[in-house]
Amino acid sequence: MAIFLYVHGIGNRTAAVNHTLSKLEKTLASSGFPDEHELDFCAWGTHLGTVHRPEGFKSIPGYADRGGGRPDPSGDAEEEVNLWELLYRDAFFELKLLGVLPKLPAKPGGPFASAGLPDPATTLTTAVEGLKSSDFLNDLLTRAGLRDDFHEAKLQVTRSPDFKEAVRTARDASSTNHRLAIARAILARAVLMAESRGETPAFLGNIQLRRDLIDACAAAIGPAEGTVPPWLTKPFIAIDRFARGVAVAGLAAGQAIVSAATKAGGAVVADVASRHAGRLVDRSYESFGDILVYQVRGKEIRQAISDEVGRVAAKGKKVVLLAHSLGGIASFEMLVEHAFLAEEMRPWDIHALALLITVGSQAPFLYELDALQTLRRTTTGDGSPCLLPPDFPAWLNLYDPSDLLSFLAAPIFPGRVFDEEINSRQPFPESHGAYWDHPKTWQMIKQYAGPRTLP
């Protein structure tokens, strides 16, 4: 019998925790886990995380004037307005964001070539360059007032460095993410060309026509699969989520993301962020606030997790600690702290914890930066790196190459942890929360937490 104790990450409160628990329970029940199990949780954020502030923030200049303290009109209409505001300023904005993602190697003999397949970048480029208007697409372009500029706009897009960088990040030639972004870039460029002649194309005022034309243009590029990630179709929210990434990593990785995004959007992003600063804070303060709270009151959070482990361990069953993001950092540090204690000082038997599973964790990177609270990088007498204590439990670390907030642990703690890759093929930050829906996550949990693996 195993008890899975789930420890959430940043910004999770009662509703979000319940949603994740429901998903975990459903998946555990249907995954064929070869052992009876229970699912429990440690909702530390409810009583130790950032306090909800319905009254807003007086310390932010122009808070109310910049959208703060108001109901969040987070519907599709507002996001669509924000998206086109950015595209009308820079038609290549989405392509620049796509270009920030990890790229497939642009060299002969890559994974696609070795399988006898064209790489996605070549396929996409060929499809866009060979794009020809069907009667249906021509009719829509005529009604939108963009038919005369469509071909030239397409040439400008395909010849741009931003396009060439963006297509190299496609993992699949049928990527909806890329096809829609390319379609919007072409149409936005055509609008700007028409406006430069003093024209006002109908595309600007007819919402349904605009949506139909985007879909038709994307379909003309080729059949598409998958879904559109909100961080691209809703770049207003992307600014908020980039901020979360920076706050979590605090670090060179997060700063590199912001630097790339700033170069991609430049003054456009800065202007939108500035004018909506109040609303951005309202949307994200619980997330970045939790990180700051952990920095100053981390011991209380670690104690809360320890108390929950002790509670479930008292049932006499093996415990598997399943911790996501910041919850993984806190769980890792709690166990380090616990394992360094003399055995008679431990509040519960550390051997009752059969396995630690960290998901999208930054603990290894923080260790390399000497930024953990309970395990310094150089604390031994001779100045060599401090190793994990002998009683530290078995550890499985799940990471995703597309998750910029997940890191490898095995190279840092050789022989003490197993790294397993979960490739969601989702862009960041969606990839940071995509683990629970990926079949391999549960295959690895079954493999490492099954009765044949653990005592």
pLDDT, tens digit only, all 455 positions of the chain: 688 889 988 766 666 667 777 777 777 777 666 566 788 888 887 778 776 556 665 556 655 555 555 555 544 455 676 677 778 888 898 898 888 777 766 555 554 444 455 678 888 888 888 887 778 888 899 988 999 999 999 999 999 999 999 888 887 766 777 888 999 999 999 999 988 888 888 887 777 888 889 888 888 886 544 333 443 334 333 443 444 344 344 433 344 444 444 454 455 445 555 555 555 555 555 556 678 788 888 899 999 999 999 998 888 888 999 999 999 999 999 999 888 877 778 888 888 888 999 999 999 999 988 888 888 876 555 656 667 888 899 999 999 988 888 999 998 898 899 999 988 777 676 678 778 878 888 889 888 886 544 44
Same domain? For 397 and 337 the reply is yes
Looking at the DSSP bridge assignments, the partners of residue 357 are 322, 396
Q: Is residue 32 domain-shared with residue 111, that is, in the same domain?
A: no
Q: How far, in Å, CA of 399 to CA of 358, rounded?
A: 9
Q: How many CB atoms lie within 10 A of CB 44?
A: 26
**In this structure, are 298 and 445 located in the same domain?**
yes
Q: 6 lies in a domain?
A: yes
Angle at 263 between CA 258 and CA 265, to 5 degrees: 90
Taking 3-state DSSP, the helix, strand and coil percentages for the chain, each rounded to the nearest 5, stand at: 55, 10, 35
In this predicted structure, what is the pLDDT of residue 338? 85
Domain count, the chain: 2
**Residue 383 tokens, joined:** 């100045």
Q: What is the pTM of this model?
A: 0.59
List the Cα angle 387/388/393 in 5-degree steps. 160
Q: Helices 207-221 and 120-129: crossing angle, nearest 10°?
A: 120
Could you tell me which residues are beta bridge partners of residue 318?
A: 2
Q: What element of type H or E holds 164?
A: helix 161-167
> What letter would DSSP give residue 387?
P
List the domain range (segments joined by +) for residue 336.
2-50+286-449
Helix (H, G, I), strand (E, B) or coil at 321: strand
Q: How distant is the alpha carbon of residue 206 from its chain centre?
A: 33
- Would you give the end-to-end CA distance of the chain in angstroms? 10
Query: How far is residue 103 from each of residues 176, 301, 345, 429, 443, measured CA to CA in Å?
Result: 17, 38, 50, 16, 27
Question: Are residues 229 and 87 part of one domain?
Answer: yes
Encoding tokens for residue 245?
């990434």
Under DSSP, the state recorded for 436 is G
Q: So what's the pLDDT on residue 339?
A: 85
DSSP type of residue 352: G
Token pair 């395909």: residue:
158
pLDDT at 209 (0 to 100): 84
Measure the CA–CA gap between 235 and 145, rounded to whole angstroms.
26
Q: 201 near 191, Cβ under 8 Å?
A: yes
One domain for residues 33 and 87 = no
**Bond into 429 cis (ω within 30):** yes
Q: Is 378 left (phi over 0), alpha (psi -120 to 50) or beta?
A: beta
Q: Judge if 182 and 316 occupy the same domain.
A: no
| 362 and 308 part of one domain | yes
Q: Answer yes or no: is 176 within a domain.
A: yes
CA 244 to chain CA centroid, Å, is 10
Q: Is 181 contained in some domain? A: yes
Q: For the purposes of burial, counting CB atoms within 10 Å of the CB of 200, is it exposed (0-12), middle (13-18) or buried (19 or more)?
A: exposed
| Residue 171 one-letter amino acid | R
256, part of any domain: no
What does the pLDDT read at residue 349?
Answer: 83
Same domain assignment for residues 202 and 315 = no
Residue 359: name the closest of 13, 50, 23 by CA.
Answer: 23
| Phi and psi at residue 2, to the nearest 5° | -120, 145
Helices (H), 197-234: 207-221, 230-233
Cα gap 45→116, rounded to integer Å? 50
Q: Domain containing 305 — which CATH number? A: 3.40.50.1820
Q: Is residue 60 part of a domain?
A: no
Residue 334 is assigned to a structural domain of this protein: yes
Amino acid at 151: H
Amino acid at 110: G
Give the distance from CA 20 to its chain's centroid.
16
Encoding tokens for residue 367?
A: 């260790």
Same domain, 361 and 445: yes
Residue 82, domain member (yes or no): yes
CB-count burial class (<10 Å; 0-12, 13-18, 19+) for 186: buried
pLDDT for 432: 82
Residue 133 and residue 207 in one domain: yes
Contact between residue 383 and residue 420 where contact means Cβ atoms under 8 Å apart? no
Report the length, in residues, of the chain: 455
End position of a domain, from candidates 233, 251, 269: 233
Q: Are residues 162 and 103 located together in one domain of the fold?
A: yes
Coil/strand/helix, residue 209: helix
Indicate if 307 and 218 belong to the same structural domain.
Answer: no
Whether residue 268 lies inside any domain: the answer is no
Q: How far is CA 133 from CA 105, 130, 151, in A?
A: 32, 10, 9
